[in-house]
Amino acid sequence: MNLYEDQFLEEHDFPTVDKASKTLIIASTARCGSHMLGHALYKTDSFGFPLEYANPANLRRWKERFGIKDVDKLMLQIKRHRTSENGLFSIKIHYNHIKQFGSFTNLMNIFPDAHYVLLSRHDVLEQAVSLAIANQTGVWISGQKPVNENPVYNAIQINHCLRQTILNNASWRYILAASGVNYIEMDFSQIKHHLVSSISTIARFVETEVKHFPTEQATEKQSNNLNKEWTRRFLEDFDLSEELLYPKREPILPKVTRKLQRIFGR
């Protein structure tokens, strides 16, 4: 796993606190702009440091740093070190990270009364293409060294990423609505082009003051001509064929039932 190593450094810790008074959860999917938003919020010194603490690969490293194996106890320890002075802790959680907590019910127990920002991208095909490229190169943020410098276009892979992203977005909307938690929705484009006002919206939502606003985009844009080329090719290749539209899968009802049981822990 090509980890973002900078996230584990103690220099990003805040003064240790006994507990956070508020929690912000960025409910996200891969390549939706959550890294850009998280770093922008970090630069304000008002939202802790929103990172993918529950990403399985990251989780292993956090367990090593603090010498804690239990996820519930580990999250409490991370909160002690990554909560900003105003008492706010933030975390990014992709939908597939929920299983690291055992269930969404347990996630709510670890982060009671959390505020959720559901972050998505309007152009979900571009997101899927970006995800397919990142899966091959191992580069998830600017500055990471690629494990493969020659990604190969694959329509089936992009189609899988597209389906999975749409499913995860829908699953987030379903579980946030069904659980009755407090959440708002924001779009990547909105944050990218209106960063300061977007941060202000989030600050009002969690009822906190912002120490200072970032003056520029927190992370570099990674998309390039390759993304555009793959998007163009996929649109040309997509022919409503059965292979793309109807991949072999198990009956939907049993699958959904088992998934809901895992999520709610019942």
Give 256's pLDDT tier (boundaries 50, 70, 90). Answer: low
Torsion of CA 264, 80, 114, 162, to 10 degrees: -60
Strand partners, 28: 94
Among 104-118, 154-168, 222-236, 237-251, which stretch is predicted with the lowest mean pLDDT?
237-251
Please tell me the class of the 9-264 domain: alpha beta
Q: What are the domain boundaries of the chain?
A: 9-264
DSSP the chain: ----GGGG-GGGPPSP-S--SEEEEEEE-TTSSHHHHHHHHHTTTSS---B-TTSHHHHHHHHHHHT---HHHHHHHHHHHH--TTSEEEEEEEGGGGGGGSSHHHHHHHSTT-EEEEEE-S-HHHHHHHHHHHHHH---STTPPPS-S-----HHHHHHHHHHHHHHHHHHHHHHHHHT-EEEEEEHHHHHH-HHHHHHHHHHHHT---S---SS-SS-----HHHHHHHHHHHHH----HHHHS-----HHHHHHHHHHHHHT-
Give 243's pLDDT tier (boundaries 50, 70, 90). Answer: low
Residue 220: its pLDDT value, please? Answer: 46
The whole-chain average pLDDT of the chain stands at 90
Residue 1: its pLDDT value, please? Answer: 58
